[in-house]
Structure 1
Amino acid sequence: MHQVRLLPHDITFTADGQQTVLEAALNSGIAFPNRCQVGACAMCMCRKQTGEISYQLEPMLTEKEQAEGWIFACQAVAESDLVLELD
């Protein structure tokens, strides 16, 4: 189990490594922005401040977006505790 902290609201929830960050947030009753849940709409994009994630399928992110820490929460699985920032 990993702790995920959402800024700027300072909301914390747990993710078990078997579900995506988005699924973990929604299962915890957190209103996380999303629409398609398959990485096409970009509604769930957030910036990873700290921690490690993995993807089953790499999302369509530019090199610049990846360097800036952007992730698709609907595709990302927590591999450690995370701090994420919603814009």
Structure 2
Amino acid sequence: MTKRVVLKPQNLEFIVEEGQTVLEAALNQNLAFPHRCMVGACASCLCRIESGAVDYDLEPLLTEKEKQQGWMFSCLAYPKSDLVITFGDE
């Protein structure tokens, strides 16, 4: 089942297919999405969930505070629901 992701503040929307990470889906749809290593080591793809939920095969190295604030590694994150995300702290 596909999930819809909205990237704020640009309000860019893209679809994540079953089995795709958020980053894979963004890149497959030619969106400029920051990334480097694609394995959760560099933190270049770190973004914050404003609404929705994700799951991971391999839990990323986030502190409890970062998790509570909604930060996620888009290269490792599989959406469990539609998402609204941002790269900023707003």
TM-score by length of 1: 0.97
1:17 maps to 2:18: yes
* CA displacement at 1:58 relative to structure 2: 0.2
SS at match of 1:65: helix
Unaligned runs of 5+ in 1: none
Paired with 2:87 and 2:9, the residues of 1 have a C-alpha distance of 7
Paired with 1:3 and 1:84, the residues of 2 have a C-alpha distance of 11
Paired with 1:68 and 1:55, the residues of 2 have a C-alpha distance of 17
Unaligned runs of 5+ in 2: none
Q: Deviations over 1:16-54 (max 9, x none)?
A: 131100000000110000000000000000000111110
Paired with 1:25 and 1:17, the residues of 2 have a C-alpha distance of 13
Matched-pair identity in %: 52
On the 8 A contact 1:26/1:32 being kept in 2, the answer is yes
Q: Which residue is equivalent to 1:58?
A: 59
SS at match of 1:18: coil
On the 8 A contact 1:46/1:73 being kept in 2, the answer is yes
Matched letter for residue 66 of structure 1: K
Matched letter for residue 48 of structure 2: R
1:36 maps to 2:37: yes
* RMSD over aligned Cα atoms: 0.6
Q: Which residue is equivalent to 1:73?
A: 74
Paired with 1:71 and 1:30, the residues of 2 have a C-alpha distance of 18
TM-score by length of 2: 0.94
